[in-house]
Amino acid sequence: MKCPLCGREAEGELCAYHAAAKGAVEAAYPRWARAFGRIDWKDYLDSVKRNPQTGQWAKEIAEFLRG
């Protein structure tokens, strides 16, 4: 199976790089929600995509999860 984001071999739905980025993006959401008081999941993903400090794989995952 191939990763839908980059075409690399995937053990599950995603390659190892995008799977790790997905885990990091999902794990950071509760911290963002606490820091911002309340932030909707989709607004969070948009913020991740716009953040210049966000890595490329995380931006790609944010777009993927946003749908």
The Cα–Cα gap between 16 and 43 comes to: 26
pLDDT along the chain (67 residues), means of 10: 96 95 97 90 96 96 95
Pair 59, 5: CB distance under 8 Å: no
42: amino acid identity, one letter: K
User: Can you spell out the DSSP letters for 12-23?
Assistant: SSS-HHHHHHHH
Question: In the prediction, which pLDDT does 11 show?
Answer: 87
Where are the domains positioned within the chain? 16-66
Q: What is the pTM of this model?
A: 0.89
Please give the structure tokens belonging to residue 12. 């599950």
